[in-house]
Amino acid sequence: MASPPTSRERSAGVTARVAEIVRSFFAEQTGELEANEPPPGRGTSALEGAVQAISDSLDRWRSTGGLVRFTQTGGRDRLVAAGVPVELELPVDRLTRLRAAQARVRVGDEVVDEVEIRGPVVRVRAIAREPGIHPVVVDALDRRGHVVAWGQAREAPIVQVITDAPTAAVNAELLLSDPARDLAPLRELALRGWSLVFFDLHPDDRQRQIREALSRHGLPRGAILVHPKSDVEFKTLGIDFHTLFAATRIRRIRADGVPLVLMVTSESEVWATACAADEIASVDLDELAERLRGPGGLDPWVRAAADLRRRFAASPTRRWRLDVLADAPVVSGNRCVVELDNRRARERLFALIERATTSVHLQFYILRPGIFTERLAVRLIRAARAGVAVRLIVDALYSTQGVLGLTNPIADGLGEEPGIEIVASAPISSDRLEVGAFKRRDHRKLIIIDGEVALVGGRNCGDEYYTGFDEVAITDWTPHERVPWLDAHVEVHGPLVSAVQRDFVTTWRASGGPEIADENALFPDLAAVGDVDARLVLHRGLVDTNTLGAYEALVDGADRHVYILNDFPILASLQGGLLRALDRGVRVVILTGSGVARRGDGKMLRGPLARVFFEYMTKHRLEPLIRAGAETYEYATPKLEEIVTRGGVVRPYVHAKVMSVDGEVASVGSANLDVTASYWENEANVVIESAAVVRELEATIERLLATSYRIDLDSSYWRGEARMREITSTLWPETLYS
């Protein structure tokens, strides 16, 4: 394949063409043209012909890349280990989209794909095996495959491919803050075979300035990893997320197999905290210089890099990514049962409490009055009177217990019973009011019986979570609040229960709960009771992104299919992961619901206006996935005697938080796929690595899909609400949700 012309060649060609046109014009005026040579312009005046010819020539120059530097948009550098697939998202400017039909993507000298241009971003998957710096260039093609614009390597983002070389991340502030700073230690580190990459957490995108600084300081080109404010996908409400973004980026790099073991920075609490989370050394330039002078000063870091590469090579890809991104060890010897039926969930919970002998621990986000809550309270009081220690944690805000002087009468009533202790997590008082307090909530739902059985899931303490669809009469005028929700939890037996119990006790202490007299008694020896490998993934809001990392690991590791049960606005980064999965041929199936329950014909029942807006916003986030090929369904109940709405079924809200991949691994817990769960609130998920359990779960999901309504973008139902979805996404700012 011919190489694209260089800028010098294009410039020379344009100059020659313009000279020819001008010569022809003056030759015609002086009668020097050959008789058989038609003048430029084909019959027009010589001047008009010359102008048209110059215009055509400049247009051809523009099309073949002469003006690309004025129209080509940049991209983000990537860092990856050799042989690891890298998903590239490359922006395409508006002018190119108007003129071109396809994009040819080159990574270094290799053409990796040609894809149709369908929007402002093209996505391709590449595997680079040669270490080094590889520009990622996009050539624009017309429908016949002819180049209409050559991409320019000089302006292109890069993929930096690393094999076994130990890798150091450099805080870009060292390059930009003081031009006179001596960066000789960095140059020496590169000469000793280390790979250098450059981090920048400044709110502005400073890639160009950093590239210029690298050249000025004589440092090798490396991936520049930026996180400008334009890339932040939610409103931070004045909270400093730098540490969290830094730690998350470091984990993603290591999950790709890059032996990143060292951070070179100035004194910075942000980087020290981010690095400590993953046992990465953090040094300043002076300490690095001292290490370089001493014999064997780099050896511990070199050994750490070799160890990381060894573990990466020895682990299955999905398991490795879960290890790194979820920060949750695998625990073997468990038995797990996933429950999506509300009635069975209630009956099982009541049976477990009635059989308890030593302790019942419960944690809820919401504690709401209702029939279920009263029946639960009866069983808790009976257990306490039989000598069982009952402890209950509720979120202060969402259970209105300890918020601005308010109390929950159920919590107050239970707390008066001897043997029952209750605490509210993160109370809010009038003298400590700040926006972040309303976002940093504890969203976990945990139940532990005798330290031997644990329930982890999405069910709060309220009727909608524990009432079966066959237990409620539903008519066309039934209010939304009376309709049950589709939800899920996982029941765990075996050694993993101790981790759930430990998390409860930790939260109990942090929330000011009364001292537990014999804490050791809460942790009986738990022998293996099954063959299920599982992890308890805990996310602490504003501290880590563990549940988000687990979801990313599952989606990015999917080979065949991904099932999702959730009804919250999908986080943009997870949406991007699902789009990449679709691009590589993975079947994506989403079972969602309706923020306000709908009748069988799609009309909403009577419900709060805020939930109507929430429904439109959630569906708006799903549309790009549907257009890309995701099979998306609204859950619809089977036909039941007590449901007599138009259409004979109801399409309720889906509160479950379930992701299942390839019939091999699944996550069930409290974390939604949205901004709030990913960053702000405390969450708990169980990741199950068992083909037997996961295939049974997926069979249940397929049965739910069989009665559900598949969303059709061309249907009158979908088109009829298009305007409302668009308006809501504009008028309901991210601040109110994120």
**Could you read off the pLDDT of 470-527 as tens digits, one per residue?**
999 999 999 999 999 999 999 999 999 999 999 999 999 999 999 999 999 999 999 9
How many Å apart are CA 66 and CA 54, to the nearest integer?
14
Return the closest-CA partner of residue 368 out of 455, 466, 460, 468: 460
* pLDDT tens-digit readout, 74-89: 578 999 999 999 989 8
Residue 737 DSSP symbol? H
348-377 residue pLDDT tens:
999 999 999 999 999 999 999 999 999 999
pLDDT in tens, 389-425: 999 999 999 999 998 889 999 999 999 999 999 999 9
pLDDT value, residue 55? 47
CATH topology of domain 68-159: Immunoglobulin-like (2.60.40)
Q: Is the pLDDT of residue 71 over 60?
A: no
| pLDDT score of 66 more than 50 | no
pLDDT at residue number 736:
54
Query: Given a cut of 50, is residue 36 above it in pLDDT?
Result: no
Sign of CA dihedral 469, 473, 475, 481: negative
Residue 217 has pLDDT above 70, yes or no: yes
Residues 6+ apart with CB under 8 A from 706: none
Please indicate whether residue 136 or residue 11 has the higher confidence score (pLDDT): 136
Distance CA 337, CA 351 (A): 16
Residue 254 has pLDDT above 90, yes or no: yes
Position 693, amino acid: V
Q: Which residue has the tokens 């009468």?
A: 409
Q: Are 607 and 659 in contact (CB under 8 A)?
A: no
pLDDT for 322 equals: 97
Q: Is the dihedral of CA 662, 550, 671, 622 positive or negative?
A: negative
Please tell me the CATH superfamily of domain 321-332+537-738, with its number: Endonuclease Chain A (3.30.870.10)
Q: pLDDT tens digit string along 170-192? A: 999 999 977 777 899 999 999 99
Please compute the mean of the pLDDT values over residues 554-571 and round it to a whole number. Answer: 96
**CA distances to 9, 122, 150, 631, 694 from 125, in Å:** 32, 10, 20, 22, 28
pLDDT of residue 92: 85
Spatial distance between the Cα atoms of 683 and 339, rounded to a whole number of angstroms? 19
Is the confidence at residue 249, as pLDDT, over 50? yes
| CA-wise closest residue to 570 among 708, 695, 671, 709 | 671
pLDDT score, position 22: 44
pTM of the complete model? 0.88
pLDDT given at position 231: 81
| pLDDT one-digit tens code per residue, 300-320 | 999 999 999 999 999 998 999
Fold of 164-314: Rossmann fold (3.40.50)
Would you place residue 441 in the very low, low, confident or very high pLDDT band (cuts 50, 70, 90)? very high
Nearest to 228 by CA among 242, 215, 247: 242
* Per-residue tokens: 83: 């042989």
Does residue 710 register a pLDDT over 80?
A: yes
Q: State the DSSP code for 123.
A: E
pLDDT above 50 for 163 = yes
Tokens of 333: 């010897």
Banded pLDDT at 56 (limits 50, 70, 90): low
Confidence of residue 1 (pLDDT cuts 50, 70, 90): very low
Q: Do domains 68-159 and 321-332+537-738 have the same CATH topology?
A: no
Instruction: Determine the Cα–Cα distance for residues 459 and 225; give it in Å rounded to an integer.
Output: 39
Select 342-467+495-528's CATH number: 2.40.37.10, 3.90.1260.10, 3.30.470.20, 3.30.870.10.
3.30.870.10
User: Which residue is it, tokens 């109990």?
Assistant: 508
Interval 688-700: pLDDT, tens:
999 999 999 999 9
Q: What is the mean pLDDT of the chain?
A: 89
Q: What is the pLDDT of residue 225?
A: 94
User: What mean pLDDT do residues 427-446 have?
Assistant: 87
* Per-residue pLDDT at 10 exceeds 60: no
Q: At a CB cut-off of 8 Å and minimum separation 6, what does 506 contact?
A: none
3-state secondary structure of 63: helix
Structure tokens, 93: 């400017």
Helix or strand or coil: residue 685?
A: strand
Element (H, E) at 160: strand 158-162
Residue-level pLDDT at 616: 95
For the residues 249-263, what does the mean pLDDT come to?
A: 94
Q: Domain coordinates of the chain in residue numbers?
A: 7-63, 68-159, 164-314, 321-332+537-738, 342-467+495-528
* pLDDT (mean) for 29-37: 37
Whole-number pLDDT of residue 275: 78
Let me know: does 257 contact 327? Beta carbons within 8 Å: no
pLDDT of 578 above 60: yes
pLDDT at 272: 75
